[in-house]
Chains A and B, each alone.
Chain A
Amino acid sequence: MIDGHLLRDLTPQVLGALVRRGADFAAAEDAVQEALAEAVRRWDGGAPDEPKAWLVTVAWRKFLDARRSASARVLREVAAHREPAPGPVGQADDTLLLLSRCCHPALSPASAIALTLRAVGGLTTAQIARAFLVPETTMAQRISRAKRTLAGERFEEPGDVRAVLRVLYLMFDQGFAGDESEEDLSAEAIRLARQLVASVPHDPEAAGLLALLLLHHARRPARRTAAGELVPLAEQDRSLWDTGMIAEGVDLLQHALAMDRVGEYQAQAAIAALHDDAASAEETDWPQILEWYDELERLTPGSPVVALNRAVAVGHVDGPLAGLRLVEALDPGLPRRDAVAAYLHERAGNRAEAARLYQAAAQATVVMAEHTHLLKQAARLNRA
């Protein structure tokens, strides 16, 4: 049997080796996929002693074969710098190099996520297609288009870490907000964030992002009922939270904050940590959470999502009417605005208005689990 985890771990390393030898990204990625397919065929009796070296050799040969058949002229150019650069080059450098290319700002978030999952995550196109609930041919095209978009981009220097953080955040969120079948994208985002942190250990926002993901992921066992319905934070069975994961997230966050360069992911992680730290919903330290929302608002000026979430914290610290005044100043079309307003109206004792707003929020959401949850909130208030 082939060790699938071994192949997945080696994928970005092999790809990095090819890119570093001067292969363009798209062709290198194709060559690595072919080498992996050959490994599956030929490693039946077990992996060779040096599986990475084996894969690099085979992938490089595949790359040269493809080039040879494509154009003899290109072959000469590649052959001129086919030897690896002298001196040791760390694998961590390759990870950042590949991640930042896959998360290139020229790509749409969906394309960047798909390409990252394949080129760095080592998932097959079929697996990625299943995660996004689209046909495999559709996902293959999306990945091909993404690679064409990147054709001609330079790959020697790692790109923007911030763009990588954003894509990993969205990848995680895809798994969190969506249906059951997508949830492994969250775990994948955490795995990639770990690789990123190992690659840029002195970037506090990378550590902040990993902390944020862990602090949310820790609540996953409590986030849905056995029937798959959403359970809001205040009603979750906190004994189901993964305390080991929370401890790891808090450690990472403290380490990041000690670098004294606060950023939006660290601030969000701090808010998540304060929620995770409360033994019950009633014991939540809302004043401190509000301080972090103030910080977050300063870091991301004009963000309506931050303003909406901050209104909830204001509702707990200064009373629901104070929170509602903030909500009412926001764009009526803002997603979840009605749901937040409903929550605050109920706390203010306006049950009928809360029910009406929950009903409106249920009609507006395009997430099935949220629709059901909001409808049940309206039903609960209408029945009482």
Chain B
Amino acid sequence: MAKYLLLKHYRGGPKPHPNAATPMDDWTPAEITAHIGFMDDMIEDLKRRGEFVDAQALAPQGEFVRYDGEGRPPVTDGPFAETKDLIAGWMVIDVDSKERAYEAAAHLSSAPGKDGEPLHEWLEVRPFYGEAPAVEE
């Protein structure tokens, strides 16, 4: 088994599919409900398959923060510029293969958006560093 991070972005990544171009507050309330319901169902499905590890959503506000020397308050940069990549949330899954990880990401990307059409949203898929195998030869 290997763990993968499926990273969802508010913005950033390759050129969006036309279906992913409409902001959510221009959907109908029912479309928003359907979109969230899809993701809840996907989490349930991952749990049933024994592949679920974690799922979290991030609020869009936030800032960059860094150390500025002893006794000085932290330096901040933000809020995030409109052009910057912005992470919306993630799922972590533990699966048998990279193919299965991509299949799960593609399914998440098919979540319904405006008019109930699949969003075709880009998901960033990143393998976790794993443990060294116990059997060496």
Contact = CB atoms under 8 A, between A and B. Distances in A.
Contacts of A355: 25
A355 B25 CA distance: 9
28 contacts: A227-B36, A227-B37, A227-B40, A355-B25, A359-B25, A362-B25, A363-B59, A363-B60, A363-B61, A364-B61, A365-B59, A368-B57, A372-B32, A372-B36, A375-B24, A375-B32, A376-B29, A376-B32, A378-B25, A379-B24, A379-B25, A379-B27, A379-B29, A379-B31, A380-B29, A382-B25, A383-B26, A383-B28
B33 interface: yes
B23 to A, nearest CB: 9
Interface string A37-75: 000000000000000000000000000000000000000
Interface string B2-42: 00000000000000000000001111110111001100100
A157 B26 CA distance: 60
Interface in B43-59: 57, 59
Contacts of B36: 227, 229, 372
Interface range, A side: 20 to 34
A383 B22 CA distance: 13
B60 to A, nearest CB: 6
Given A355-B25, A359-B25, A379 B57 contact: no
Nearest to A358: B25
A233 interface: no
Contact of A376 (B33, B37, B60): B33
Contacts of A383: 26, 28
A88 interface: no
Interface of A: 227-229, 355, 358-359, 362-366, 368, 371-372, 375-376, 378-380, 382-383
A375 B30 CA distance: 11
Interface range, B side: 10 to 19
Contacts of A379: 24-29, 31-32
Interface in B91-109: none
Nearest to B25: A378
Contact of A227 (B28, B31, B33): B33
A378 B40 CA distance: 22
B interface SS class: helix
A162 to B, nearest CB: 33
Nearest to B29: A376
Q: What 4 A-B pairs have minimum CB-CB distances, sorted nearest first? A: A376-B29, A378-B25, A366-B59, A379-B25
Contacts of B60: 363
A372 B57 CA distance: 12
Contacts of A376: 29, 32-33
Given A365-B59, A368-B57, A382 B26 contact: yes
Contacts of B57: 368
A380 B24 CA distance: 11
Contacts of A364: 61
A227 B31 CA distance: 13
A365 B57 CA distance: 12
A375 B25 contact: yes
Contacts of A362: 25
Nearest to B37: A227
Interface centre among B28, B31, B37, B59 (most CB of A within 10 A): B59
Contacts of B59: 363, 365-366, 371
A371 B10 CA distance: 14
A229 B60 CA distance: 20
Contacts of A378: 25
A219 to B, nearest CB: 21
A372 B24 CA distance: 10
A228 B29 CA distance: 14
Contacts of B40: 227-228
Nearest to B59: A366
A382 B24 CA distance: 11
Nearest to A228: B40
